[in-house]
Copies of this chain bind each other. A is one copy, B any other.
Amino acid sequence: MAKRKVSLKDISIACGVSVATVSKALNDHHDIGQETKEHIRQVADKLGYRPNAAAQALKTNRTNNIGVLFVDEAHSGLTHDYFNHVLNSFKNTAEENGFDITFINGGKARINNMSYLSHAIYRGFDGVVIACVDFFDPEVDELVKSSIPVVTIDHIFYNRIAVISDNVNGMKELAEYVCEQGHKKIAYVRGVESSVTQSRLASFYKTLQEHNIDIPDEYVVVAPYRDTDAAYEATNRLLDLQDPPTCIFYPDDFAALGGINAIRERGLKIPDDVSIVGYDGLEITSRLTPKMTTVVQDSEKIGKIAATKLIDLINNPKGTLIEQIVVKGKLEPGASVKKL
């Protein structure tokens, strides 16, 4: 039962050839005869040979492993609905290309309290994808500036490959839709500071301005992403105003759930008394009643492109176009905005 792991050497002995020949046969080099190759492969199979990633990595400086850095402020990690969709898609296409995925934010607990970069070097990742982090963390900066191929998601660092969701256009479509429904008093429970928030906020103001709608400062309040309680509080503050809004924008679909509760607790109806819109396009939005109006971010596409680009960069560091790719989202009108 306790079979020792079988190595090239075992095969070479069994076949009466040298280790080099076995290696070359298995890797289909041209300087090994056809029958020799076939014989070696048969024996390798019979012996149950598996290559050793560590040895290969040591020799070739290639691990076929990609590091993933995902650490949001709320530590929701894998449970973050938008990002786990992105990650899932990333993972799938990486695996289709023969790469494995290892999380990179685990060095902290290691004895030496490894930095992200140290961890990446230690594991020898061929490349790294960064998303959902504190973009001002110097450790993140160090990693991005290193010589390891890197792709970032939803944030542009220097001149590196980035894949970003089109928050400007998404917010524009959303705001225009709300305008078209006749709303004038529009509030925005915005997320905390980040480039995503920046884009959405700017687009929010710009679009409404184009429709000659003025947004008083007290209509824009802050609540962290995915924080239903904060959204609940924020909603109450908005509805307590002398002149409350008729429509409220939320940082994301999930946070909007908190807003929904606040509204309903006051005996108000959605959308009859108050209209709401979310952002992200989570699966639940379409299962709620009323269906929530939102912008669905193409997380599938974002993850896929990020993986494809990163792998390109890994395989061809010089010849890969460094670009920032913007992935469009799609307005998904529900029934949570009343036509005025």
Contact = CB atoms under 8 A, between A and B. Distances in A.
B95 A106 contact: yes
Given A122-B50, A122-B52, A98 B110 contact: yes
A208 interface: no
A103 B106 contact: no
A114 B50 CA distance: 9
Interface in A229-266: 254, 257-258, 260-261, 264
Interface stretch (A81-89, A151-159, A186-194, A320-328): A81-89
A88 B77 contact: yes
Interface string A33-77: 000000000000000001111110110000101000000000001
Contact of A91 (B54, B63, B77, B95): B77
B50 A118 contact: yes
Contacts of A105: 95
A19 B282 CA distance: 55
Chain A interface size band reads 35 or more
Contacts of A84: 78-79, 84
Contacts of A287: 228, 257-258, 260-261
Given A50-B121, A122-B51, A124-B54, A106 B110 contact: no
Interface in A88-140: 88, 91-92, 94-103, 105-106, 108-111, 114, 118, 121-124
A141 B143 CA distance: 40
A123 B53 contact: yes
A78 B80 CA distance: 10
Contacts of A283: 228, 254
Contacts of A284: 254, 257, 284
A107 to B, nearest CB: 8
A257 B285 CA distance: 10
A58 B65 contact: no
Contact of A102 (B65, B88, B122): B65
Contact of A103 (B63, B91, B111, B123): B91
A79 B81 CA distance: 7
A260 B103 CA distance: 37
A147 interface: yes
8 contacts: A50-B122, A52-B58, A54-B124, A77-B88, A99-B106, A101-B103, A261-B287, A261-B289
Interface of A: 1-2, 5, 50-55, 57-58, 63, 65, 77-79, 81, 84-85, 87-88, 91-92, 94-103, 105-106, 108-111, 114, 118, 121-124, 147, 228, 254, 257-258, 260-261, 264, 283-284, 287-289
Given A50-B121, A77-B91, A101-B106, 18 more contacts: A1-B147, A50-B114, A53-B123, A78-B87, A84-B84, A96-B109, A98-B109, A98-B110, A98-B111, A100-B102, A100-B103, A100-B106, A257-B284, A257-B287, A257-B288, A258-B287, A261-B287, A264-B289
